[in-house]
Amino acid sequence: MLPFLKLIARRLMAIPITLLVVTLLLYGVAMLAPLEIRAKLYWPPGASEQWMSLNSEDEVRLLNERIIREYGLDDPFPVQYVRWLAKLLRGDWGSSFVVNDVLQALLQRTPATAELTLYSVLLLIPLGLFSGVMAGWRRNRLPDHGFRFLAFIATSVPPFILALLLLAVFYVVLKWFPPGRFGMSTRLLVTSTTSDYKTYTGLVTIDGLLNGQLDVTLDALRHLALPVLTLGMAHWATLGRVTRAAMVEELGQQYITAALGRGLTQRAVLWRHAFRNAILPGLSSSGVAVAALVTGVFVVESIFDFDGISQLMVIAVSQTDLPLTLGIAVYSVLIVLPLMFVLDVLQGVVDPRLREGGA
């Protein structure tokens, strides 16, 4: 038990170190921007309105010079980085042209992105592990051929192309799964200030159940179907392929032959012996898949008109909004690191070498 606790402690210690390195690199890239653009990182809430009210370029220049002088933007890089990091830790992520408070704007749109990511992960990991194990167990048979064909398609078609194809078939033609986060009636209920509907978690599928509104949950799941499928398909194929290869390798080991020779059933050999060893490489690759999933969710949100963080990202890139861009980058890292920690701990639970303090 003690080595496992040491593993958890090491993973926890790695989180702030990783965050420190990533933020250091992010601010290093931001330092390449002109002083006038970096000055926006230190605008107080409401400064965008103040900037819009300026009547001449001289007034804009004087405002930027005051901010540069007041916050020492001509100081050495380490001094500026520590000052900016301290602002982040205090919850002051700056203001921008679009939003008065970057952190508050991100938090308001987090539930939509979190809901889409959560259901994609719940689909990706179990389905990828199960399909990979079954394909490896039935190697060169019909289930294996079917899995390899679907995995080839999933990894060959870009997510935005797959999204457009799914919309064309299941929305335009069949009218089954519309875009957006929920329908008009659900939107009126959820956003109304006069209804009895209460927001507990921000996740519509869960809040609908907590409010006793099953129709709200079903409507949200209906709108989640296509974006979840789009987001998880490529990562499902990668995870399944890794698991299949590990399964094929395990089935060739001598302990499998010995287990079958002792009279164990094929089901017992599959799930009690081969499966536990075959999922270890899959869990390792799932960490990379989840990280890619979080960064890829923004593209899927934009295509399916999901009211998430992607809207802020589009605005930040199109308008060269440095505070918002840096805020989204740091926020993405803060989402990925806890997910990676959970997967590392799960690996330690499954792999006895990690529980015993191995590398």
**pLDDT truncated to tens, each residue of the chain (359 aa)?**
677 778 788 888 888 898 899 999 988 888 887 777 777 666 665 555 555 555 556 666 777 777 777 777 778 888 888 988 888 888 888 777 677 788 888 888 888 888 888 888 888 888 888 898 889 888 888 989 999 999 998 888 888 888 889 999 999 898 888 888 888 888 888 887 777 888 888 888 999 899 888 999 999 999 999 999 988 888 888 888 988 988 888 888 888 888 888 888 888 888 877 887 777 777 777 777 777 777 778 888 888 888 888 878 877 777 777 888 888 889 888 888 888 888 778 777 776 666 555 44
> How far, rounded to the nearest angstrom, does the alpha carbon of residue 346 sit from its chain's CA centroid?
18
pLDDT at 76: 86
Which phi and psi (to 5°) does residue 101 adopt?
Answer: -135, 110
pLDDT at 10: 83
Residue 331 lies in a domain: no
pLDDT at 218: 92
Residue 329 lies in a domain: no
pLDDT at 299: 82
pLDDT at 54: 52
285 and 145 within one domain: yes
Q: Of 89, 111, 135, which marks where a domain is finished?
A: 89
239 and 140 within one domain: yes
Task: To the nearest 10°, report the CA torsion of 111, 114, 116, 120.
Answer: -160
Residue 205 lies in a domain: no
- For 339-357, letters b (16+ CB in 10 Å) and e give bbbebbbebbeebeebbee
The boundaries of the domain holding residue 304 are: 102-176+228-318
Q: Of 64, 89, 114, which marks where a domain is finished?
A: 89
Note the helical H segments in 75-141: 77-89, 102-137
Residue 118 lies in a domain: yes
Cα 34 from Cα 198, distance rounded (Å): 46
Residue 192 lies in a domain: no
Exposed / middle / buried, residue 198 (Cβ in 10 Å: 0-12, 13-18, 19+) = exposed
235 and 140 within one domain: yes
137 and 252 within one domain: yes
**What tokens were used for 301?**
């949100």
46 and 14 within one domain: yes
pLDDT at 60: 63
Integer-rounded Cα Rg, in Å, for the chain is 25
- Residue 337 near residue 15, CB atoms below 8 Å: yes
242 and 127 within one domain: yes
pLDDT at 21: 92
- For 93-115, letters b (16+ CB in 10 Å) and e give bbbbbbbbbbbebbeebbbbbbb
260 and 162 within one domain: yes
pLDDT at 91: 85
112 and 79 within one domain: no
Measured in residues, the chain has a length of 359
Residue 216 lies in a domain: no
Domain count, the chain: 2
Residue 111 lies in a domain: yes
Residue 279 lies in a domain: yes
17 and 110 within one domain: no
256 and 169 within one domain: yes
108 and 82 within one domain: no
145 and 85 within one domain: no
pLDDT at 222: 92
Q: Of 62, 89, 116, which marks where a domain is finished?
A: 89
pTM of the model: 0.79
Domain of residue 118, CATH code: 1.10.3720.10
Nearest in space to 239 (alpha carbons), one of 136, 350, 354, 351: 136
Cα 178 from Cα 175, distance rounded (Å): 7
